[in-house]
Amino acid sequence: MSRVYNFSAGPSVLPESVLERAASEMLDCNGSGQSVMEMSHRSKEFDAIIKGTEQKLRQVLNIPDNYKVLFVQGGASSQFAMVPLNLMNKSGKADFVISGQWAKKAYTEAARYGQANIVASSADKTFSYIPELDSSKFDPEADYFHVCWNNTIYGTHFNEIPDVGNVPLVADMSSCILSEKIDISKFGVIYAGAQKNMAPAGLTVVIIREDLIGNARDITPTMFNYKTHADNDSLYNTPPTYCIYMLGLVLDWIINDIGGIEKMHEQNVKKAAMLYDFLDNSKMFNATVQGKDRSLMNVPFVTGNDELDKKFVKAAADAGFVNLKGHRSVGGMRASIYNAMPVEGVEKLVAFMKDFEEKNS
Ligand X SMILES: *Cc1c(COP(=O)(O)O)cnc(C)c1O
Residues in touch with ligand X (CB under 6 A): 10, 75-77, 102, 148, 152, 172, 174-175, 193, 196
Q: Is the dihedral of CA 21, 22, 23, 24 positive or negative?
A: positive
Q: How far is the CB of 339 from ligand X (least distance, A)?
A: 14
Task: Decide if 102 is catalytic.
Answer: yes
Residue with smallest beta-carbon separation from ligand X: 75
Work out how close the CB of 151 gets to ligand X at its nearest, in angstroms, rounded to a whole number: 7
In angstroms, the CA 168 to CA 141 distance is 10
Catalytic residue among 95, 143, 172, 252: 172
Best CA proximity match to 172, nearest among 59, 83, 67: 83
CA distances from 353 to 314, 333, 344 (A): 12, 12, 14
Exposure string of 240-267, with b = 16+ CB inside 10 Å and e = fewer, is bbbbbbbbbbbbbbbbeebeebeebbeb
**From the CB of 304, what's the least distance to ligand X, in Å?**
26
H/E stretch holding 334: strand 333-336
Task: Kindly state the smallest distance separating residue 319's Cβ from ligand X, in Å.
Answer: 27
The answer to whether residues 175 and 337 touch, using CB atoms and an 8 Å cutoff, is no
For the chain, the distance separating the N- and C-terminal CA atoms, rounded to the nearest angstrom, is 35
Which residue among 56, 68, 104, 196 is the active-site one? Answer: 196
Q: How many CB atoms lie within 10 A of CB 199?
A: 27
Given the complex with ligand X, which of 10 and 15 has the nearer CB atom? 10
Residue 44 bears catalytic tag: no
Q: Which is nearer to ligand X, 68 or 104 (CB)?
A: 104
H-run or E-run covering 145: strand 144-148
**Residue 349: CB minimum distance to ligand X, A:** 21
Q: From the centroid of its chain, how far is CA 256?
A: 22
Q: Look up residue 302 and give its DSSP letter.
A: E
Peptide bond into 64 cis (omega under 30): no
Residue 95 bears catalytic tag: no
Instruction: Give the nearest distance from C-beta 193 to ligand X in angstroms.
Output: 3
Nearer to ligand X, 34 or 77 (CB): 77
Nearest partner of 40 among 32, 79, 187, 309, judged by Cα: 32
**Alpha-carbon gap, residue 66 to 68, rounded angstroms:** 7
Query: CA 314, CA 303: separation in Å to the nearest integer?
Result: 14
**Phi/psi zone of residue 10: left (φ > 0), alpha (ψ -120 to 50 degrees), beta?**
left
CB of 160 to ligand X, least distance (A): 18
Q: Which of 102, 104, 271, 309 is catalytic?
A: 102
Select 81 or 353, whichever has its Cβ closest to ligand X: 81
Structural contact between residues 110 and 83, judged by C-beta atoms closer than 8 angstroms: yes
Of 35 and 77, nearer to ligand X (C-beta) is 77
Judged by beta carbon, residue 335 or residue 350, the one nearer ligand X is 335
Distance CA 133, CA 145 (A): 12
Task: Give me the active site residues, please.
Answer: 102, 172, 196
